[in-house]
Amino acid sequence: MANIFYTIFPAVFNMSITASVAVIAIIVFRLYFYMFKISYKKVPSAVFYAMWLVVLFRLLCPVSITSQLSFFERFESPVEHINDSTSVMEFIPADIVHTEYPAVDTPVDFADHLINFYLPKGEEQLRADPLEAPVALATDIWILGICGMAVYGIYSYTKLKKQLVGSLKIRDNIYICDYISSPFVTGVIKPRIYLPSTLSEKEAGYIILHEQHHIKRFDHIFKLLAFIALSLHWFNPVIWLAYEFAMQDMEMSCDEAVIRKLGDDIRSSYTQSLLNFATGRHIFAGVPLAFGEGDTKVRIRNLYNPAKTTVINTAFVALLAIFLVFILAINPDTNKGQIIYNGMVYRQSGNPITSLPKGSTNVGNLLYTEDWYWDNGMYWEFSSRNINPIYQNMPVFQHKDNPGTIFLTCGGDGWMPLKADSMDYNKTDILIEPKQIGKGVEYTVQLNRDVKECGIVEDIYLQGKLYSSRLVIYNDSISADENYTNQGSFDYNVHFSEEGGIDGMEFIFRHNEYVTSSSAVSLPREKYTGAGSHPSFMTAYNYNKKHLSYKMLANDSFDLLTIALSTMENGGIYANFEAEYTPDDADMRNDTVIVYRFVTSSTSLREQ
């Protein structure tokens, strides 16, 4: 029960972020047509109204199918896979309270950097659970907000029921009442139309038609679901804005439907009825669905700027809207299980099979890694991404007549098929040619007041043993009066010989975007064939962005960047970047590893 309490609000918050992206995309879509003066004159409001269904879906359902067509693919949005075809968006880890290295990864990068900088990490996070209290408080406030919305809804419905006392049925589901000021629809399973007793017979005709159109489209159910969604996401102002737009589009599309059916002759009297029964606002409770609610001025302007629709124009906009809704409704496929082999990326495809195709042979064993960059192309033999670590060293099979598919042994579960990505299928069989692979790292470090000096240390390991260690950067101008923030970047370049190998290397240190230090590295060997790098796995909260964020006390240290150098003939870099290793596993490790560490001291670094 405790775990559910700590995970329910992060789950709702993830849904809210996803829906907010959909809201903004739909608003931009609307504005695009409005800027070209075809929003209200060329495109029926029903097209825009239908688009809000995807927002409602995102607000109420955390699960969706996965596809690389997803709108969220361009943000590299994180997902948690449920199975091969469905997933949940996870901008915030569901169990962020008990995650050793918690981090958020939203579409807003600067917010990510700010939040992740202050999030507790490592042992502090696991032992003290410092996020339990704030997450519990946020959950309590969220529940109170839901209760407030529920009380408001119940109060509004009770007040409405009192006004319906003495209402008289005139036919079917249509009633007249003395104590209401505007026509409306109420009820879910058997919706009823209520009309003021003062309504003229002429007005009653088109107003009933308006309300019947609502019922025919199940607008009364849509509004109730929209209110439930608003109650769950009351903390998000973007969702309130979406509710306002959706109700406006609902009413305008009904207005247009009535005018279309009865003709332009009733436009003036219909407009007058809108003025007579205007509530001046949207009724935020789930019921009733009132004729005169919303922005009357916008509805009247829409009536006097009718949609001069052509079939081609409507079809074009409708197709664009359907496509946008589709890509907003599905989750990205970025985190699917992947293996790289012989220069091609294979992605998990379908559920495990019970038997291998005849003639399949063992082509190697899987080397498990926590993450990898195909763009940097730095892995040797088999490496994986988002594959369960229990499959490490498991055999991989392939049929000679079908190089587009490989099969990973899944123990008693059979064999998992992975198909070659069409974009990578024609890559060369050489995994890495001799060249520099990877980039440097950016970092932000907040130093405690007891820090007097900070700097960067270079540790070089040759075949698993420390070869050299030196202080390459230091800063002794730190004020002791307040916390100090150190920001910079650390990168490296390699020099190529005429034969194509690497015969030199230098590091480049930048502070506030200016190069402040550049120095050659004394390498243990004269020649190397390839080089690769990655940010520290322990402190990087987003490998793709390669930005480290850390808090440091005095006499502390953390790894900034790890560089591996290869002496193999084809320049291959092993995925395991461990600097120290024993002779027993030397055949699966890199020849030379250079680790750059950010260090702090309460005295002097140069004296240590």
CA distance 5 to 132: 10
pLDDT of residue 228: 93
Shared domain check, 309 and 269 = yes
CA distance 540 to 557: 14
Shared domain check, 528 and 408 = no
CA distance 368 to 383: 6
Q: Is 568 exposed, middle or buried (0-12, 13-18, 19+ CB in 10 A)?
A: middle
Lowest mean pLDDT, pick from 17-26, 368-377, 466-475, 528-537: 368-377
pTM over cut 0.75 = no
CA distance 508 to 604: 23
Beta partners for 557? 599
The beta-strand segments (E) located in 401-513 are 402-409, 415-420, 441-447, 453-462, 465-475, 484-496, 502-511
Shared domain check, 289 and 345 = no
Shared domain check, 312 and 256 = yes
**Alpha-helical regions (H) of 164-236:** 201-216, 219-232
H/E stretch holding 26 = helix 2-35
Q: Which of 324, 358, 383 marks a domain boundary?
A: 324
Shared domain check, 302 and 233 = yes
> Structural domain tally of the chain?
3
Q: Are 79 and 90 in contact (CB under 8 A)?
A: yes
**Is 425 part of a structural domain of the chain?**
no
Residue 477 identity (one-letter amino acid)? S
**To which residue do tokens 């399949």 refer?**
360
Shared domain check, 343 and 311 = no
Q: 559 or 384: whose pLDDT is higher? A: 559
Shared domain check, 349 and 303 = no
**Is 431 part of a structural domain of the chain?**
no
Look up residue 459 and give its two tokens. Answer: 């540790």
Beta partners for 302? none
Q: Is 514 exposed, middle or buried (0-12, 13-18, 19+ CB in 10 A)?
A: exposed
Shared domain check, 289 and 363 = no
Residue 272 identity (one-letter amino acid)? Q
**Is 493 part of a structural domain of the chain?**
yes
pLDDT of residue 338: 64
**Is 428 part of a structural domain of the chain?**
no
| pLDDT tens-place string over residues 369-390 | 443 333 333 333 344 444 555 5
Residue 116 identity (one-letter amino acid)? N
pLDDT of residue 378: 34
**Is 229 part of a structural domain of the chain?**
yes
DSSP letter at 388? Answer: -
**Is 365 part of a structural domain of the chain?**
yes
Q: Which of 324, 349, 370 marks a domain boundary?
A: 324
**Count of C-beta atoms within a 10 Å radius of residue 289:** 27
Residue 575 identity (one-letter amino acid)? A
| Percentage of residues of the chain with pLDDT beyond 90 | 16
CA distance 512 to 550: 17
Q: Is 309 helix (H, G, I), strand (E, B) or coil?
A: coil
Q: Residue 542 pLDDT more than 60?
A: no
∠ CA 458-459-465 to the nearest 5 degrees?
Answer: 170
**Is 208 part of a structural domain of the chain?**
yes
Q: What is the 3-state secondary structure (H, E, C) of 52-101?
A: HHHHHHHHHCCEEEECCCCHHHHHCCCEEECCCCEEEECCCCCCHHHCCC
pLDDT of residue 375: 33
Q: Are 452 and 601 in contact (CB under 8 A)?
A: yes
Q: What is the 3-state secondary structure (H, E, C) of 93-140?
A: CCCHHHCCCCCCCCCCHHHHHHHHHHCCCCHHHHHHCCCHHHHHHHHH
Q: What is the 3-state secondary structure (H, E, C) of 330-373?
A: CECCCCCCEEEECCEEEEECCCCECCCCCCEEEEEECCCCCCCC
Shared domain check, 120 and 19 = yes
Rounded to an integer, the average pLDDT of 246-269 is 85
Q: Residue 159 pLDDT more than 60?
A: yes
pLDDT of residue 455: 86
| pLDDT tens-place string over residues 178-223 | 888 788 888 888 888 888 888 888 888 888 888 888 899 998 899 9
| pLDDT tens-place string over residues 113-150 | 778 777 776 566 666 677 888 888 999 999 999 999 99
Q: Residue 48 pLDDT more than 60?
A: yes
Which of 507, 533, 541 lies closest to 379 in space, CA to CA?
Answer: 533
pLDDT of residue 179: 83
∠ CA 440-441-445 to the nearest 5 degrees?
Answer: 150
Q: Which of 292, 324, 356 marks a domain boundary?
A: 324
Rounded to an integer, the average pLDDT of 458-476 is 88
Domain of residue 219 covers 2-324
pLDDT of residue 483: 61
Shared domain check, 122 and 164 = yes
Q: 513 or 582: whose pLDDT is higher? A: 582
H/E stretch holding 189 = none
CA distance 505 to 592: 13
Q: Residue 503 pLDDT more than 90?
A: no
**Is 376 part of a structural domain of the chain?**
yes
What's the first-to-final CA gap in the chain, in angstroms? 51
Report DSSP letters for 251-305, one per residue.
HHHHHHHHHHHH-GGGHHHHHHHHHHT--SS---SS--EETT-S-HHHHHHHHTS
Q: pLDDT category, 39, cuts 50, 70, 90?
A: very low
Shared domain check, 458 and 594 = yes
pLDDT of residue 292: 57
Shared domain check, 317 and 380 = no
